[in-house]
Amino acid sequence: MRSEHYRKYFKVPFMMGPNCLRLLDELLEEYPLQYTSDNLVLDLGCGSGITSLFIAKETGATVYANDLWVSEEENRRHFASWNMQDKIIPVCEDATNLHFDKEMFDAVISIDSYHYFAGKEEFFTQNILPYIKSGGIALVAIPGIKHEYDGRSKELLTPWLGKDAYMLQSADFWKRMIGSHKDIEDVRTWELSSFELPWQEWFGTKHEFALNDENYYESIICPYTTFVGVMVKKAEAMHTS
């Protein structure tokens, strides 16, 4: 796994949840992206930007690293300290109100973030799809609930997540949320094979939130949850002569 080469970032402040690089690595194994610096990728909800680093280094693209809670200034410092200031551009915008050029990105990637803001019908087609080039792709990995517990998030996850329990939904739910659109060629949602390692590496950071999550690992996280992958392929533009 290419994420092995990024071990020095498996700590606070770079880790903000279950190891995002393991999840991203699995997505990019399944859907490899080979780009040049002329290709643009949006890393949506990038946190402290290690996923942006991975995307820039492993795909070759120039990355727009967008986050809401981590400021542009803070991420600019991270990217400069990695000598990646020309390859990763920090942006601080709300994913529900982005201001990029239409059809700007070859790919939009979002790890452990999309569930905070995108669980509404038509969110994807209205707020994300317009920014993807024709023929481009969206790849998402988020915590979710296993297929067999679909619809029971509040009941099963509230002791762990409180009022945020509703955010963890099944692969089927996310397929419904993406919906259909004339510009969508293909949608796939599935349960990732990564599970224990990203969680254990998060617990290993000893962040106070990690220690809290660890308290619920055996009783709730393991039996009921999974990581959900989402892949959306945008249709090629139809050229008429």
Ligand X SMILES: C[S@@+](CC[C@H](N)C(=O)[O-])C[C@H]1O[C@@H](n2cnc3c(N)ncnc32)[C@H](O)[C@@H]1O
Q: Yes or no: say if 91 and 101 are a contact pair by the CB < 8 Å rule.
A: no
Give the DSSP H/E element, type plus range, for residue 231: strand 225-234
Enter the tokens of residue 75: 């991420």
For residue 13, CA distances in Å to 17, 52, 75 come to 10, 15, 11
Residue ranges in 107-146 that form contacts with ligand X under rule CB under 6 A? 111-113, 116-117
Stretch that binds ligand X, among 12-20, 123-131, 178-186, 211-219 (CB under 6 A): 12-20
**By C-beta, is 66 or 189 nearer to ligand X?**
66
**Residue with smaller CB distance to ligand X, 185 or 216:** 216
Taking CB under 6 A as the rule, does residue 169 contact ligand X?
no
Residue 20 within binding range of ligand X, rule CB under 6 A: yes
Query: Closest separation between CB of residue 49 and ligand X, Å?
Result: 8
Interacting residue with ligand X among 1, 2, 7, 94 (CB under 6 A)? 94
Q: Tell the residue number behind the tokens 């690595």, with chain if given.
A: 25
Please give the full DSSP string across 33-52, using - where no structure is assigned: ----TTSEEEEET-TTSHHH
Which is closer to ligand X, CB of 46 or CB of 128? 46
Q: Of 21-80, which residues contact ligand X (CB under 6 A)?
A: 45-47, 51, 67-70
Question: Residue numbers of the site for ligand X (CB under 6 A)?
Answer: 16-17, 20, 45-47, 51, 67-70, 94-96, 111-113, 116-117
